[in-house]
Amino acid sequence: MSRFLSARYSDIEPYTPGEQPKSTAQLIKLNTNESPFPPSPNVIKALNESEISKLNLYSDPDTKDVVDALSKTLGVSPSQIMMGNGSDEILAFTFQAFCDREHQPCFADITYGFYPVFASIFGLQPEIIPLREDFTICAEDYFNKNKTIFIANPNAPTGLSLSLSDIKNILQHNKDNIVLIDEAYVDFGGETALPLINKYDNLIVCRTFSKSRNLAGARLGFAVSNEQVINDLCKMKFSFNPYNINRLSIIAGREAALDTEYFNFCVEKIIKAREKTVSELKKRGFFILDSKTNFIFARHPDISGENFYNALREKNILVRHFGNERIKDFVRITIGSDEQMDKLIIAADEILKENKK
């Protein structure tokens, strides 16, 4: 830390992103919930020399091309959508716009690790609501909080999902507060809250192109809400970084949003690979939470989460382990290609053989 850093940031513990190794040539990378598939062929075609040669010009601050494409695909008005530089930026703007001393944030003890970091950088005191013993969310715990509520649905890193009726209940019991539903993983089997947007003016749905649309590197996320709330979020964006989405990402997003066929193909493949992996790992004694995402959260009675993580790492398979006491026995494994998952199973067999109790 330099002697110049503002005192208000001196205690902040930044978010630790999953490792992004330089060379992934021999590595099976199952640690950051990316898609194993390339972007839509239409994205690759559209990012041509002619578009690259326009990089001397600023991008469209209204990101109209990608907003219109999403509007068509999702069936909501363009005025109900705002794009972010990843959904992380949407989350940041939401904390900034809708949290303060009178409206502190609240979220689960086990959820996306960036929520506490945003709370801390914006000088907030979040209320942390423990998940139940079985890692599910108890909807009643979120009733009448008078706080800004953040819920990842499906949740990460558990992979468990909350029903639409529970979300409706939470919205109903917090009519004067914003409820953000983070649907980063919803396309892999969760129930979206999008149909509730026009019924509840306190709802923000936060989505990303990083998982089911194979564009983690393009950094594209978006918020869907009513026009007034979107205008509030735009106020944050236009006071911070009006050109938050670069020219190439706007094009990539437009093409990815419109290519429903490729989207369905990839999502179906990942769900199939997930179900097969779960069934194979369960046969080997793993306990796995019921995942509705592109990752699974698994533990085995014979080996600690940390040791399993390290043993896989030695075999060039990278997964994610979290040190938090409640979940330290688990590892989070991103669902990759069929071939990658076959290799994971072979590696698990070898590790379990060496660690048999």
Rule CB under 6 A: choose which of 74, 81, 171, 184 binds ligand PMP. 184
Q: What is d(CA 95, CA 72) in angstroms, rounded to the nearest whole number? A: 28
- How near is the Cβ of 290 to ligand PMP at its closest, in Å? 17
152 near ligand PMP, judged by CB under 6 A? yes
221 versus 303: smaller Cβ distance to ligand PMP: 221
Under 8 Å CB-to-CB from 134, ≥6 apart: which residues? none
Nearest to 82 by CA among 229, 186, 211, 249: 229
Rule CB under 6 A: choose which of 39, 69, 129, 182 binds ligand PMP. 182
Q: What is d(CA 104, CA 125) in angstroms, rounded to the nearest whole number? A: 6
Rule CB under 6 A: choose which of 63, 71, 80, 88 binds ligand PMP. 88
Q: Are 345 and 56 in contact (CB under 8 A)?
A: no
Rule CB under 6 A: choose which of 98, 112, 308, 330 binds ligand PMP. 112
41 versus 217: smaller Cβ distance to ligand PMP: 217
221 near ligand PMP, judged by CB under 6 A? yes
Q: How many residues does the chain have?
A: 357
Under 8 Å CB-to-CB from 257, ≥6 apart: which residues? 66, 69, 70, 72, 73, 209, 213
156 near ligand PMP, judged by CB under 6 A? yes
From 54-62, 80-88, 224-232, 251-259, span contacting ligand PMP (CB under 6 A): 80-88
208 near ligand PMP, judged by CB under 6 A? yes
210 near ligand PMP, judged by CB under 6 A? yes
- How near is the Cβ of 349 to ligand PMP at its closest, in Å? 29
| Residues between 240 and 279 that touch ligand PMP (CB under 6 A) | none
- How near is the Cβ of 314 to ligand PMP at its closest, in Å? 25
Q: What is d(CA 157, CA 295) in angstroms, rounded to the nearest whole number? A: 8
Alpha-carbon separation of residue 152 from 179, 214, 273, 300, 336 (angstroms): 11, 20, 23, 25, 22
For residue 2, give both structure tokens. Answer: 């330099």
Q: What is d(CA 190, CA 198) in angstroms, rounded to the nearest whole number? A: 20
213 versus 247: smaller Cβ distance to ligand PMP: 213
Q: Give the strand order in the sheet containing 127-129.
A: 81-84, 221-224, 203-208, 179-182, 148-152, 105-108, 127-129
Nearest to 201 by CA among 227, 223, 221: 227
86 versus 126: smaller Cβ distance to ligand PMP: 86
230 near ligand PMP, judged by CB under 6 A? no
Rule CB under 6 A: choose which of 216, 224, 266, 270 binds ligand PMP. 216
182 versus 232: smaller Cβ distance to ligand PMP: 182
Q: What is d(CA 148, CA 106) in angstroms, rounded to the nearest whole number? A: 6
Binding mask 29-68 for ligand PMP (x = CB under 6 A): ----------------------------------------
Tell me which residues touch ligand PMP (CB under 6 A).
86-88, 112, 152, 156, 182, 184, 208, 210, 216, 221
